[in-house]
């Protein structure tokens, strides 16, 4: 058994899995076949549905991965084979020759600059050129040059050799050879991602025309780091297009070319790309041609609605058969609008093909060479109950290698895979790791020397705020010893630049003007630490979320405000003092709330990782909604899954189950929570270091809708599910989708209802082929591989009728359903024995828990995760995690993945030896303290206490009370400092002096400066 894991694939899935494992005590090898980690996410401009800048959220993870002492990065390396068994695998890896010594290369880029050979740049999806020796993108990790052996003139023809001549550190090595190495690991995680579908296979779409491009190419056009710096132009003539069309499902939902799956993400990325394009150029006319719009995830439907209402993006229900290129080389399409039946012809300047996700070649290669089973679609085969386990024990899978999915689902699965690998190897935890070392802090010189780094954030800041102007302004501010601009302050090369600037200019305070400290502060604080500065000498000035993004149309005002924000940050930072965290012990036990499938899975995973868990369930029995189900969507029986889980839970000594129980009180914080659980009227104290919220959701009761509650023939899909456990005698069954969802009160999509409906339709048809089943839908959202079910249902004769939201079906007397078929444009009457209403899951009693743990809810009262993309199972509050339908409706395999993910995240805490307390705590100035005890009554954590002190003042000596604050208990909220009547308490890092300086700086206003060529003139 080995305490190490090999993660294959360095996209966001591999990165997350590696970070989780490395953080919970395992040596991790991250193997990536490209020169840099980052995967396809690194090529994205923004992410849906928040339009968060993809690189901005990815880059800190890249840097963290590159820096982690327990992650060994094997980039530009391929896995040849995996052999062995769970606990002891041998992984053969070929380190491809880069022809550059990565130990020597500094990533300075001189070679790239001087290289005469230009090659199509895959990072920009072939729309620009790079050099034959290159670093794939600015934020690349590792930041090492690679020679493209197929294109290099020296390696192909023996001529040139320029890069070797110009390389200062002598890193270029034309003699380098591929090297094979063998890794001994306990477990393997496959995160091999996908390959974008190549649309040349569909000649009717004329991908040969320069103005027919893929969605990935369009994404690159939108990106500031793309070939056109974020300007959407036509490849043919460089002009700005007016009319743009997206064709959906190119390479998806197409049995003719053996692509039967739905790629899950294309509807949303097309929507996202359209919105961003409109933000760049509001004049653009954009149409999205689609079959169904699959906006099934959290906040997706809202995003889709906004695209239509706020951005005027047109959605046409149609699948154009071809792209027509006329004699003048212009583009047009003939299509039938499925909603009206009309035939139309329309000209377009630019056509974007929304390409699907194909299994990657390496997925297939590794699967074949190592005997790992694939499913019908070519993805790594898994099951609903074990969504990250491959056919080989000890080898796990995550991300798109397992099936198409979006980033949050990928990240959750990655953590889930990490959890499984960690529980397999839990005995070996900590045997192969090293501690992270930082250099000693340098002595602070008495005068502040502030360095200011102003970020363009691609065009996120730079297109609104005049960044050079802000830099020049910063140079005029007191204490500023250095100021400069950066394209992406969070990229790895920027960290090097910041460290160099600190050393060169002897900086002792650092201000980065970029984005929110809520996501990026830790990254820059670590950079400071690596440069020998205490992390509390750092301040972020948020000129993106609070400035460029909210004043997009007022560039001058935004620039002035950015200057003001920087000025405040500089003024405050000058007062910063080094602060230190304390180490306190933690409770290595977890609490899981909710005993459904998610809660049981989370509890089991944590228990199998070797920690004690208390599982709290409000009902008499564990099982939750799994008990209500009579068939899984792969045809398997839910009882078996339930039985298996129940058995494992009851057999596991690490799990204590409390039934008919409710958490009533919680206090404490990360690592040290204390709670009271009321179980059958008895109050039981529970101590825990981390908690997982898995309280699920409940079915929406459609009271009063379509006669529900009045007519017994009108039931919900959940009731039908139960009924089908025994079978039904009904001959004509009509299902109505989106009842109580995608409307004014509940804007969101129920996500699971389409799959549930299709599953039950199939069951009815299989039991009785004569039965007629109608499904009245708005969009069928059987995303991913569940598209297979939709196809099965149609093959079995289930009739799907699309209705328009404005013309809802009508149910009379609980039996006659009248629906306006929007495709045929006529009313259809269906005499039904059973009318089934598909309703969404709605939030359960989340409000109570939200109060207990102080964790936020979203507007639909589901829990709000820390970040919708990259922290899908975390809360902003440390030590509390989330999984299953408590976050948003979910299919069972997704809930299970998330549960394992939450367990993995919890284990990154439970596996620690100690917890670091807050560094920015409050301290008492003893001389000023009058011993009144106000702070003692104010503090919710009992951090301050009074003690007897002897005071000598002039001639008199007397005893009095003084307060002192226990730094290990203080959380740094500063309430005591605000309440102290004597002003004796200093809330460090947020002291009245520091706040006062910031206010004062604000008051000074922004002085006007005029910028000459080399000189800066300040008008004061």
* Residue ranges that bind other proteins, judged by CB under 8 A: 50-52, 279, 516-518, 542, 544-547, 549-554, 557-558, 560-561, 564-565, 568, 667, 850-851, 854, 856, 858-859, 864, 876-877, 920, 938, 940-941, 971-975, 977-979, 987, 990, 992, 995-996, 998-1000, 1002-1008, 1019-1020
Rank residues 52 and 894 by Cβ distance to other proteins and give the closer one.
Answer: 52
Evaluate whether 138 touches 158 at the Cβ level (below 8 Å): no
The half-sphere exposure of 264 on its side-chain side, counting CA atoms within 13 A, is 20
How near is the Cβ of 895 to other proteins at its closest, in Å?
Answer: 22
Rank residues 1 and 978 by Cβ distance to other proteins and give the closer one.
Answer: 978
How near is the Cβ of 918 to other proteins at its closest, in Å?
Answer: 9
Query: Which residues lie closer than 8 Å to 820 by C-beta, 6 or more apart?
Result: 803, 804, 807, 809, 826, 827, 828
How near is the Cβ of 477 to other proteins at its closest, in Å?
Answer: 14
How near is the Cβ of 697 to other proteins at its closest, in Å?
Answer: 18
Rank residues 734 and 917 by Cβ distance to other proteins and give the closer one.
Answer: 917
Peptide bond into 521 cis (omega under 30): no
Residue from 29, 751, 86, 785 nearest 402 by CA: 785
Rank residues 100 and 232 by Cβ distance to other proteins and give the closer one.
Answer: 232
Strand partners, 836: 715, 735
Alpha-carbon span 528 to 522, nearest angstrom: 10
How near is the Cβ of 298 to other proteins at its closest, in Å?
Answer: 11
Rank residues 805 and 978 by Cβ distance to other proteins and give the closer one.
Answer: 978
Peptide bond into 581 cis (omega under 30): no
Residue-wise DSSP of 128-156: SEEESEE-SSTT-SS---EE-TTT-HHHH
Rank residues 951 and 999 by Cβ distance to other proteins and give the closer one.
Answer: 999
How near is the Cβ of 241 to other proteins at its closest, in Å?
Answer: 23
How near is the Cβ of 858 to other proteins at its closest, in Å?
Answer: 5
CB atoms within 10 A of CB 26: 30
Alpha-carbon span 940 to 918, nearest angstrom: 15
Dihedral angle over CA of 746, 747, 752, 757, nearest 10: 80
Dihedral angle over CA of 777, 780, 781, 784, nearest 10: 160
Enclosing H/E stretch for 397: strand 395-397
Rank residues 335 and 549 by Cβ distance to other proteins and give the closer one.
Answer: 549
Alpha-carbon span 612 to 105, nearest angstrom: 47
Residue from 477, 488, 478, 531 nearest 508 by CA: 531
Both tokens of 394, joined, read 């000890």
How near is the Cβ of 859 to other proteins at its closest, in Å?
Answer: 7
Rank residues 545 and 711 by Cβ distance to other proteins and give the closer one.
Answer: 545
Rank residues 433 and 842 by Cβ distance to other proteins and give the closer one.
Answer: 842
How near is the Cβ of 162 to other proteins at its closest, in Å?
Answer: 45
Dihedral angle over CA of 845, 849, 851, 852, nearest 10: 150
Rank residues 824 and 1018 by Cβ distance to other proteins and give the closer one.
Answer: 1018
How near is the Cβ of 930 to other proteins at its closest, in Å?
Answer: 17
The half-sphere exposure of 617 on its side-chain side, counting CA atoms within 13 A, is 23
How near is the Cβ of 1008 to other proteins at its closest, in Å?
Answer: 5
991-1008: b (≥16 Cβ within 10 Å) or e: beebeebbeebeeeebee
How near is the Cβ of 551 to other proteins at its closest, in Å?
Answer: 5
Rank residues 736 and 855 by Cβ distance to other proteins and give the closer one.
Answer: 855
Token match 């009731």: residue? 719
Burial class (CB in 10 A: 0-12, 13-18, 19+), 913: exposed
Rank residues 423 and 548 by Cβ distance to other proteins and give the closer one.
Answer: 548
How near is the Cβ of 1005 to other proteins at its closest, in Å?
Answer: 5
Both tokens of 988, joined, read 């460090």
Alpha-carbon span 580 to 562, nearest angstrom: 30
Rank residues 337 and 858 by Cβ distance to other proteins and give the closer one.
Answer: 858
Evaluate whether 68 touches 20 at the Cβ level (below 8 Å): no
């Amino acid at each position: 058994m080995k305490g190490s894991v090999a993660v294959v694939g360095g996209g966001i899935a591999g990165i997350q899995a590696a970070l989780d494992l490395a953080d919970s005590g395992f040596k991790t090898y991250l193997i990536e076949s490209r020169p840099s980690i980052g995967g396809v996410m690194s090529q994205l401009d923004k992410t849906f549905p928040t339009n968060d800048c993809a690189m901005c959220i990815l880059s800190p993870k890249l840097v963290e991965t590159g820096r982690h002492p327990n992650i060994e990065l094997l980039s530009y390396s391929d896995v040849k084979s995996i052999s062995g068994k769970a606990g002891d695998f041998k992984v053969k890896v070929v380190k491809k020759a880069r022809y550059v010594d990565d130990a020597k290369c500094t990533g300075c880029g001189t070679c790239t600059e001087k290289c005469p050979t230009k090659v199509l740049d895959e990072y920009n999806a072939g729309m620009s050129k790079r050099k034959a020796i290159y670093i794939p993108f600015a934020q690349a990790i590792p930041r090492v040059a690679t020679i493209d052996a197929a294109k290099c003139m020296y390696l192909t023809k023996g001529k040139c050799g320029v890069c070797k001549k110009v390389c200062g550190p002598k890193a270029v090595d034309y003699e380098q050879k591929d090297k094979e190495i063998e890794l001994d690991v306990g477990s393997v995680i496959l995160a091999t991602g996908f390959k974008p579908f190549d649309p040349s296979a569909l000649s009717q779409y004329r991908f040969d025309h320069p103005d027919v491009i893929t969605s990935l190419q369009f994404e690159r056009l939108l990106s500031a780091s793309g070939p056109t710096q974020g300007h959407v132009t036509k490849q043919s003539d460089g002009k700005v297009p007016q009319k743009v069309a997206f064709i959906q499902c190119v390479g998806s939902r197409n049995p003719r070319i053996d692509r039967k799956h739905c790629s899950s993400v294309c509807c949303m990325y097309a929507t996202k790309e359209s919105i961003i394009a409109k933000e760049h150029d509001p004049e653009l006319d954009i149409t999205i041609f689609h079959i169904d719009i699959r906006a099934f995830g959290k906040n997706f439907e809202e995003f889709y609605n906004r695209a239509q209402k706020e951005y005027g993006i047109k959605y046409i229900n149609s699948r154009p058969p071809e792209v027509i290129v006329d004699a003048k080389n212009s583009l047009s399409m003939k299509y039938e609008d499925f909603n009206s039946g009309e035939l139309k012809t329309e000209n377009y300047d630019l056509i974007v093909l929304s390409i699907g996700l194909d299994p990657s070649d390496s997925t297939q290669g590794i699967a074949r060479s190592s005997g790992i089973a694939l499913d019908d679609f070519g993805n790594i085969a898994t099951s609903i109950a074990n969504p990250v386990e491959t056919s080989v024990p000890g080898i796990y899978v995550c991300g798109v290698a397992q099936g198409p999915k979006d980033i949050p689902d990928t990240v959750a699965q990655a953590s889930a895979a990490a959890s499984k690998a960690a529980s397999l190897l839990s005995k070996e935890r900590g045997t192969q790791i090293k501690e992270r070392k930082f250099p000693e802090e340098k002595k602070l010189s008495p005068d502040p020397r502030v360095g200011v780094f102003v970020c363009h954030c691609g065009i996120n800041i730079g297109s609104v705020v005049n960044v050079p102007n802000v830099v020049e302004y910063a140079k005029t501010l007191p204490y500023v010893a250095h100021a400069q601009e950066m394209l992406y302050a969070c990229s790895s090369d920027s960290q090097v630049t910041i460290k160099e600037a600190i050393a060169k200019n002897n900086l002792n305070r650092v201000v980065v003007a970029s984005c929110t400290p809520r996501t990026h502060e830790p990254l820059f604080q670590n950079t400071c630490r690596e440069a020998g500065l205490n992390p509390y000498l750092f301040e972020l000035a948020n000129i993106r979320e609070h400035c460029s993004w909210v004043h997009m149309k007022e560039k001058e005002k935004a620039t002035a405000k950015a200057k003001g924000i920087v000025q405040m940050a500089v003024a405050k930072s000058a007062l910063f003092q080094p602060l230190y965290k304390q180490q306190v012990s933690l409770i290595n036990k977890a609490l899981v709330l909710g005993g459904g499938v998610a809660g049981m899975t989370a509890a089991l995973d944590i228990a199998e990782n070797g920690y004690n868990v208390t599982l709290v369930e409000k009902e008499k029995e564990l099982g939750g909604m799994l008990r209500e189900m009579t068939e899984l969507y792969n045809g398997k029986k839910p009882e078996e899954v339930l039985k298996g889980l129940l058995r494992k839970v009851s057999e596991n000594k690490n799990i204590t189950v409390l039934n008919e129980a409710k958490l009533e009180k919680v206090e404490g914080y990360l690592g040290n929570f204390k709670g009271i659980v009321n179980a059958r009227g008895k109050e039981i104290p529970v101590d825990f270091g981390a908690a997982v919220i898995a309280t699920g959701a409940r079915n929406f009761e459609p009271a009063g809708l379509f006669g529900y509650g009045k007519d017994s023939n009108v039931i919900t899909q959940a009731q039908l599910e139960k009924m089908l456990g025994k079978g039904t005698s009904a001959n004509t069954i009509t299902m109505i989708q989106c009842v109580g969802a995608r409307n004014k009160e509940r804007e969101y999509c129920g996500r699971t209802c389409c799959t549930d409906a299709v599953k039950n339709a199939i069951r009815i048809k299989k039991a009785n082929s004569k039965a007629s089943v109608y499904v009245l839908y708005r969009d069928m959202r059987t995303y991913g591989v569940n598209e297979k079910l939709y196809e099965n249902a149609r093959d079995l004769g289930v009739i799907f009728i699309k209705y328009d939201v404005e013309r809802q079906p009508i149910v009379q007397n609980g039996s006659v359903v009248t629906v306006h078929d929007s495709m045929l444009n006529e009313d259809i009457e269906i005499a039904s024995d059973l009318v089934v209403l598909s309703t969404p899951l709605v939030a359960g009693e989340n409000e109570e828990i939200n109060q207990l743990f102080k964790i936020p809810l979203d507007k639909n009262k589901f829990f709000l995760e820390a970040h919708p993309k990259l922290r899908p199972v975390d809360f902003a509050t440390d030590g509390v995690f989330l999984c299953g339908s408590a976050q948003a409706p979910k299919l069972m395999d997704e809930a299970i993945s998330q549960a394992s993910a939450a367990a993995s995240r919890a284990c990154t805490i439970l596996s620690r030896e100690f917890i670091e307390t807050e560094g920015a705590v409050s301290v008492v100035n003893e001389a000023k303290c009058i011993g009144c005890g106000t702070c003692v009554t104010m503090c919710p954590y009992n951090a301050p206490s009074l003690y007897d002190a002897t005071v000598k003042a002039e001639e008199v000596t007397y005893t009095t009370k003084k307060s002192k604050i226990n730094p290990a208990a203080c959380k740094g909220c500063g309430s005591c400092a605000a309440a102290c009547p004597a002003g004796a308490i200093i809330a460090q890092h947020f002291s009245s002096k520091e706040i006062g300086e910031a206010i004062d700086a604000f008051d000074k206003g922004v002085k006007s400066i005029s910028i000459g060529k080399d000189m800066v003139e300040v008008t004061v």
